[in-house]
Amino acid sequence: MPRILSLMILLFSCSLVQAVDTSVSVPMKATRVGTHSYYIQGLSGAASNENQGFMSNAGFVVTRKGVVVFDTLGTPPLAQKMLGLIRKITKQPVKIAIVSHYHADHYYGVQVFKEQGAEIWAHRNAEGQTRTENAALRFEQRKEVLFPWVNENTKLTEPDKFLEGDTDFELGGVHFNIRHVGPAHSDEDLAMLVKEDRVLFAGDLVFKGRVPFVGEADSKAWLNSLDKLIALKPRVLVPGHGAASTTPLKDLTLTRDYLIFLRSEMGKAVDDLISFEEAYARTDWSKYKNMPAFEEANRPNAYNTYLLMEQENLK
């Protein structure tokens, strides 16, 4: 009898797990920015239960022989909703899904496109990123913050193809220029220019309308990478976060100015042997403090930049 009761409890528990609704209710739309190019704009702020992890951008390009996706959003259910939007525009299969970099909000949806038969591309520097200690820690954090949309069925999916550097290819008459613009926001940063549309998908090298997440990035290299984006002369720039820009050169200045400001203020503190706590308290953050993600990102950005400036001084 106890064994039968235990079995019934187990079956009941399983049914409860299966009944958990993982669909997303956040609004999502595909905005056309070129003849072939579309993008999906995430909500502002950090990943939370309120935005269901929908806080980064993704894009896709429709050709007569298939679809190319750029980034796959921050959860499998969000990627599934994105796939539904693609299906409303074209029945062409998704042939390639390019991951700009292996941060959770840009690649946790990869498994959805892989299951549809897409080949996953990323830069060689992304190899093994899903198996690092940081990836495991972030996965646990995401499961806690974004359950049930991130759960044990979420797969940290490795690329199928690693790009060694800049790569140009053609699909269905549309030409793509993939550029390795890292190390910057990450070691593996990729940007993609759709040549016919002159639409540039910049990944997290560009943040619009919110404080960038710098993390442990090399801000000096990041500034050099922004120059590479300017040289591509896009008509439209799709950032990793925020609305697409039809004035790319002007809107690149937010990310650039923020990085320069961090380096200047923290660099002066290091030169003057001022502690980080004192330097942070003395810095005038008024230009940025009312922007989305300031509370979550600014202090870690400043601290890591302080450490970076110490390292640069030693060199």
Cα 183–chain centre separation: 15
In whole angstroms, what is the distance from residue 291 CA to residue 19 CA?
A: 38
pLDDT band at 1 (very low <50, low <70, confident <90, very high): very low
Backbone phi and psi for residue 236, each to the nearest 5 degrees, phi listed first: -130, 140
Find the range with the poorest average confidence among 47-56, 160-169, 193-202, 251-260: 251-260
pTM of the prediction?
0.85
Domains and CATH numbers, the chain: 17-248 (3.60.15.10)
Of 222, 206, 211, residue with least CA distance to 296: 211
Amino acid at 29: K
Locus of tokens 């200047």 = 264
Sheet hosting strand 199-207, strand order edge to edge: 167-171, 174-180, 190-194, 199-207, 236-241
Burial of 85 (0-12, 13-18, 19+ CB in 10 A): middle
Condensed to tens digits (0 to 9), the pLDDT of residues 42-97 reads: 998 889 999 999 999 999 999 999 999 999 999 999 999 999 999 999 999 999 99
pLDDT at 313 over 60: yes
Condensed to tens digits (0 to 9), the pLDDT of residues 12-39 reads: 545 444 456 899 999 999 999 999 999 9
